[in-house]
Amino acid sequence: MPTRQSYCFASGSGKTTLAHILLRLILSTKGQYNAHNLTMLPIFQHAIESFNTRITLAQSLAEPKKYYKSINSNIDLTLQHLMTQLNLDPELLQAKPYQLSGGQLQRFNILRTLMLQPEILICDEITSNLDVLLEQQMSNVLLNYYEET
């Protein structure tokens, strides 16, 4: 297992731009990389913009199953495990995004990406809308995810 490395980069140093290049949302002007065999999924900063407000969270979480053929066949167990880790009540699955708090919605945003078990996780200030306790919980969940996978 590779060693865990943590880096801290200043605001304006290009973290978001690099994430956009890796996700091919923008084209790089120099250099190249080969990401054909990698599963890269973003977790965006503003969770409300990441969900369709007309459907329930259960429906939103079911959508990736249609598009990612390589996802684990035990996706429902993975979902339950992540909901427990993220302290999310299963009843919230029947809610629509605008019915949740910002912190709850951001945890579902993280859950949706982690349930697909990506090889690379690109996070763009995912804890910026969370209080200090939830921010620490997110850090712990991501560290646990890394250690488990």
- Total of domains in the chain: 1
Q: Is residue 26 part of a domain?
A: yes
Residue 126 lies in a domain: yes
How many of the other CB atoms lie within 10 Å of CB of 142? 17
The domain that contains 122 carries what CATH number? 3.40.50.300
d(C-alpha 29, C-alpha 24), whole Å: 12
Mean pLDDT across 38-42:
61
> Domain range holding 20?
15-148
| Residue 133 domain flag | yes
Mean pLDDT of 36-59: 78
- pLDDT at position 47: 80
Predicted pLDDT of residue 9: 66
- Closest C-alpha to 125, from 2, 4, 9: 9
Per-residue model confidence (pLDDT) at position 3: 47
For residue 43, the cross-strand partners are 123
Q: Tens of pLDDT along 8-20?
A: 667 777 877 877 7
Q: Which two tokens stand for residue 103?
A: 């912190």
Specify if 4 maps to a domain: no
Q: What percent of the chain has pLDDT over 70?
A: 79
- pLDDT number for residue 18: 79
Per-residue pLDDT tens digits for 67-116: 766 666 677 788 888 999 888 999 999 999 999 998 899 889 888 888 88
Does 22 map to a domain?
yes
Which one-letter amino acid corresponds to residue 100?
Answer: L
Q: How far does CA 50 lie from the centroid of its chain?
A: 10
CA angle 15, 106, 68 (to 5 degrees): 80
Average pLDDT of the chain? Answer: 79
Whether 32 is in a domain gets the answer yes
> What pLDDT is attached to residue 2?
44
Assigned domain for 5 exists: no
What integer pLDDT is reported at residue 46 of this predicted model? 75
**Is 56 domain-assigned?**
yes
Task: Classify residue 112 by burial, with Cβ atoms within 10 Å: 0-12, 13-18, 19+.
Answer: buried
